[in-house]
C-alpha cells in the first residue's frame, strides 16, 4: 500500500464525505441533494395539503393555538387530494402513500366575526420552493382590508420589529362594557342581541357576521365603543411578549389589498439588510378571498411559492447551494394580521388584529363575552391580544443525513486518522466508517468495530493493506443515512454488509 503524504483535494460532484487512500492521495467530496416535504399545487385550494384533509378540518384534528407536524398521503384515484385516513377520500378510494407529504402547521381556529382572523399557517418545501399557505376569515371591506406579515427566523441576529414604515402598528383596545373583548374599531364592539358564534360557543356574535334574521329581536346593539386603542403604545415588536425575542432575517408580507383588486405582486419577501427591511422580490400568490363577514362565511386562503433563489440559493433543484436559509434548514416563524388600506403600498394601517398566540398567556376569561369557540382559554378574543407570540419551533430534524467534509491524515504505518463534519441532520447522533478497495468501487464494508464512533467526529485505526477508500455515514443508532452521491448526483449504493438499514432524511 502506497501512502502519499501530499494530499490532493478536488471536487467530484455532490455527496457525503468520501476519502481515498492510495496513488490518488486524499480526496474530499462535499454535500449534495435533499428530498424534502412535498410540492403542493399553488392554486389557492388547500385540498392537496395535509391540513386540507377532512380529518384535519375544524372540529376534527385541529387544536387551537397549537402547532403540528402533519404527515399524510393522497387518495388512490384523486391523487391531488391529501388524506390521513381512508374517510378523507371520495367513496371507493383509499388513502395511499402515507408519509409522502409533510407540513409544519399552526392552528388558530377561533374567529372573531368582525375582523380579519388568522385561521391556519402552513409551510412545506421541496428543492425548488418554500411553500406557504394561510387561511383567514376575511372581511374584504375597504376600511378593513387584512394585511399580514410572517417572520422567518433562520439564524442568530436580524431585526426585532415588523415592517411598519408609517408607525401604524399599535396595541389593541377593548370594548367599553365587554372588557374581555379586544377591538381595533367600534365595529368590533357591536354585538347581536341574541345569536352567538356559529361554533360551539356561548359567546355573542359580532354584528359583522350578520345577526340571525330567524331570531326575533336579534338586533345589532351598537352602544359599546372601542376604548384605549393604542393606549399601550406601539406594537411593532416581533416577539416583544416572548422569551427569547425572535429576530427574523426575512419577512413575508401579504398585502391583501393588492390581491382583492387583482394587482400583481401581492406577496413581498423582505430581508434584513443592515438593520433595515429591504425588498428582495415580489410574487403573485393564488388567492381564494372567502366570504365577507368574518366567521359568517368560509375562510379565505392564499398560497405562494417562494423560489429558493430569492434567498440567494443557486443550483436548485438538483444541488442547492445557499448562503444562509435553504432547503431542510431549521427555522422558526410567527405571524400577525393587521388592518391594511387601498394604497397598495405594503404598509399596515392601525392596530394588529390577530397574532399567533399561546393558549393562556394573559388574562383568561370564561364569560359569555369571551371567545371560547374552538379554543381552550383564549385571551381578549385574540385580536392582537398582547399574549405571548407563538414561535413554532424548527422543523424536527429527521435522521438519515450526510456527513460533512471528510479528511484523512497519515500516522505511523499503517495507522490513519479520519476527521469529518457533523451530519446535516441533528437527529443523527453517531457515525459509521466504511472501507473499500480503491478501483473496486462500492466494495466498502464496515471497518472492524467502527459501526459506531460513539458520536465522535474522528476515528483512528489501522488501514487494511493495499489502496483503500473510506466513507463515513451518519446514523441515529437505528438506521443509517447517506453514503453520498456520485458525479451524476445519484446516491451511492449501501454496503452489502451495512451496519444498519438505510433511511434517507430530508436535509441537503
24-53 in b/e form (b: 16+ CB < 10 A) is: ebbbbbbbbbbebbbbbebebbbbbbbbbb
User: Is the domain of 197 the same as that of 256?
Assistant: yes
Q: Rounded mean pLDDT of 283-311?
A: 76
Nearest to 187 by CA among 225, 229, 218: 225
Per the DSSP assignment, residues forming a β-bridge with 355 are 336
Task: Say if 380 falls within a structural domain.
Answer: no
Looking at residue 350, its pLDDT comes to 78
413-439 in b/e form (b: 16+ CB < 10 A) is: eeebebbbbebbbebbbbbbbbbbbbe
Per the DSSP assignment, residues forming a β-bridge with 20 are 469
Task: Say if 412 falls within a structural domain.
Answer: yes
Q: How far apart are CA 439 and CA 66, in angstroms?
A: 54
Domain boundary among 372, 391, 416: 372
Mean pLDDT of the chain: 76
Residue 103 burial by Cβ neighbours in a 10 Å radius (0-12, 13-18, 19+): buried
User: Is the domain of 135 the same as that of 93?
Assistant: yes
Look at 441 and 209; give whichever has higher pLDDT: 441
Taking CA 332 as the corner, what is the angle to CA 278 and CA 357, rounded to the nearest 5 degrees? Answer: 100
Does pLDDT of 368 surpass 80?
no
Mapping DSSP to helix (H, G, I), strand (E, B) and coil, where does residue 257 land? helix
User: Is the domain of 127 the same as that of 237?
Assistant: yes
Q: Which residues contact 505 (CB under 8 A, 6 or more apart)?
A: 397, 398, 399, 400, 401, 425, 427, 428, 481
User: Is the domain of 100 the same as that of 137?
Assistant: yes
Task: Say if 21 falls within a structural domain.
Answer: yes
Q: Which residues contact 321 (CB under 8 A, 6 or more apart)?
A: 313, 314, 315
Task: Say if 96 falls within a structural domain.
Answer: yes
C-alpha cell at 153: 427566523
Task: Say if 384 falls within a structural domain.
Answer: no
Q: Which residues contact 271 (CB under 8 A, 6 or more apart)?
A: 249, 250, 277, 278, 280
Residue 54 burial by Cβ neighbours in a 10 Å radius (0-12, 13-18, 19+): middle
Nearest to 56 by CA among 95, 105, 117, 113: 105
Per the DSSP assignment, residues forming a β-bridge with 66 are 107
Q: Rounded mean pLDDT of 487-496?
A: 84
User: Is the domain of 499 the same as that of 406?
Assistant: yes
Domain boundary among 319, 352, 372: 372
Task: Say if 37 falls within a structural domain.
Answer: no
Write the DSSP assignment of 26-87 as a string of letters: ----B------S-----SS-GGGSGGGSGGGSTTTT--TTEEEEEEEEEESSSTTSEESSGG
Looking at residue 507, its pLDDT comes to 67
Q: How confident is the model at residue 240 (pLDDT cuts 50, 70, 90)?
A: low
User: Is the domain of 195 the same as that of 242?
Assistant: yes
Q: How far apart are CA 456 and CA 51, in angstroms?
A: 40
Q: Which domain holds residue 180?
A: 46-372
User: Is the domain of 317 the same as that of 201?
Assistant: yes
Domain boundary among 333, 353, 372: 372
User: Is the domain of 169 the same as that of 27?
Assistant: no
User: Is the domain of 24 the same as that of 51?
Assistant: no
C-alpha cell at 166: 408609517
Task: Say if 150 falls within a structural domain.
Answer: yes
User: Is the domain of 16 the same as that of 162?
Assistant: no
Write the DSSP assignment of 110-155 as a string of letters: ---SSS-EEEEEEEEE-SSEEEEEEEEE----TTS-EEEEEEEE-S
Q: Rounded mean pLDDT of 117-143?
A: 79
Q: Rounded mean pLDDT of 299-328?
A: 87
Task: Read off the CATH number of the domain in which 9 is found.
Answer: 2.60.40.10
Does pLDDT of 249 surpass 50?
yes
Q: How far apart are CA 125 and CA 32, in angstroms?
A: 17
User: Is the domain of 472 the same as that of 334?
Assistant: no
Instruction: Give me the number of domains the chain comprises.
Output: 2
Task: Say if 466 falls within a structural domain.
Answer: yes
Per the DSSP assignment, residues forming a β-bridge with 473 are 432
User: Is the domain of 247 the same as that of 184?
Assistant: yes
The string of pLDDT tens digits covering residues 404-421 is: 889 999 999 999 999 998
Amino acid at each position: 500500500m502506497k501512502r502519499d503524504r501530499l494530499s490532493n483535494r478536488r471536487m467530484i460532484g455532490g455527496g457525503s464525505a468520501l476519502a481515498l487512500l492510495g496513488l490518488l492521495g486524499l480526496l474530499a467530496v462535499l454535500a449534495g441533494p435533499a428530498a424534502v416535504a412535498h410540492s403542493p399545487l399553488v392554486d389557492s385550494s388547500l385540498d392537496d395539503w395535509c391540513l386540507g384533509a377532512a380529518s384535519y378540518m375544524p372540529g376534527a384534528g385541529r387544536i387551537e393555538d397549537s402547532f403540528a407536524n402533519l404527515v399524510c398521503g393522497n387518495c388512490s384515484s384523486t391523487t391531488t387530494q391529501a388524506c390521513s385516513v381512508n374517510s378523507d377520500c371520495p367513496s371507493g378510494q383509499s388513502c395511499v402513500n402515507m408519509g409522502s407529504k409533510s407540513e409544519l402547521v399552526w392552528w388558530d381556529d377561533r374567529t372573531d366575526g368582525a375582523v380579519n382572523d388568522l385561521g391556519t399557517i402552513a409551510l412545506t418545501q421541496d428543492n425548488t420552493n418554500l411553500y406557504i399557505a394561510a387561511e383567514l376569515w376575511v372581511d374584504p371591506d375597504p376600511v378593513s382590508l387584512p394585511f399580514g406579515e410572517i417572520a422567518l427566523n433562520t439564524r442568530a441576529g436580524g431585526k426585532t420589529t415588523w415592517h411598519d414604515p408609517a408607525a401604524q402598528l399599535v396595541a389593541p383596545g377593548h370594548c367599553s362594557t365587554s372588557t374581555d373583548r379586544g377591538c381595533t374599531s367600534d365595529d368590533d364592539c357591536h354585538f347581536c342581541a341574541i345569536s352567538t358564534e356559529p361554533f360551539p360557543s356561548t359567546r355573542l356574535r359580532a354584528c359583522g357576521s350578520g345577526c340571525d334574521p330567524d331570531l326575533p329581536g336579534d338586533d345589532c346593539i351598537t352602544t359599546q365603543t372601542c376604548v384605549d386603542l393604542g393606549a399601550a403604545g406601539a406594537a411593532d415588536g416581533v416577539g416583544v411578549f416572548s422569551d427569547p425575542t425572535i429576530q427574523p432575517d426575512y419577512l413575508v408580507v401579504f398585502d391583501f389589498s393588492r390581491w382583492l383588486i387583482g394587482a400583481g405582486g401581492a406577496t413581498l419577501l423582505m430581508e434584513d439588510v443592515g438593520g433595515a427591511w429591504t425588498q428582495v422580490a415580489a410574487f403573485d400568490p393564488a388567492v381564494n378571498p372567502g366570504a365577507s363577514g368574518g366567521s359568517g362565511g368560509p375562510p379565505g386562503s392564499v398560497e405562494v411559492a417562494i423560489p429558493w433563489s430569492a434567498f440567494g440559493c443557486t443550483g436548485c433543484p438538483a444541488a442547492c447551494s445557499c448562503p444562509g436559509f435553504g432547503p431542510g434548514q431549521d427555522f422558526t416563524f410567527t405571524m400577525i394580521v393587521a388592518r391594511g388600506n387601498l394604497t397598495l403600498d405594503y404598509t399596515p394601517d392601525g392596530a394588529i388584529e390577530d397574532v399567533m398566540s399561546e393558549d393562556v398567556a394573559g388574562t383568561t376569561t370564561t364569560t359569555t363575552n369571551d371567545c371560547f369557540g374552538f379554543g381552550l382559554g383564549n385571551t381578549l378574543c385574540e385580536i392582537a391580544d398582547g399574549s405571548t407570540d407563538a414561535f413554532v419551533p424548527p422543523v424536527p430534524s429527521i435522521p438519515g443525513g450526510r456527513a460533512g467534509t471528510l479528511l484523512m491524515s497519515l500516522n505511523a504505518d499503517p495507522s490513519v486518522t479520519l476527521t469529518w463534519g457533523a451530519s446535516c441532520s441533528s437527529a443523527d447522533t453517531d457515525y459509521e466508517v466504511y472501507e473499500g478497495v480503491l478501483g473496486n468501487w462500492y466494495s466498502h464494508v464496515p471497518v472492524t468495530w467502527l459501526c459506531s464512533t460513539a458520536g465522535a467526529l474522528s476515528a483512528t485505526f489501522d488501514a487494511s493493506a493495499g489502496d483503500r477508500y473510506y466513507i463515513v455515514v451518519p446514523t441515529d443508532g437505528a438506521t443509517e443515512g447517506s453514503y453520498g452521491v456520485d458525479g451524476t448526483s445519484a446516491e451511492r449504493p449501501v454496503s452489502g454488509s451495512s451496519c444498519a438499514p438505510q433511511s434517507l432524511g430530508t436535509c441537503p
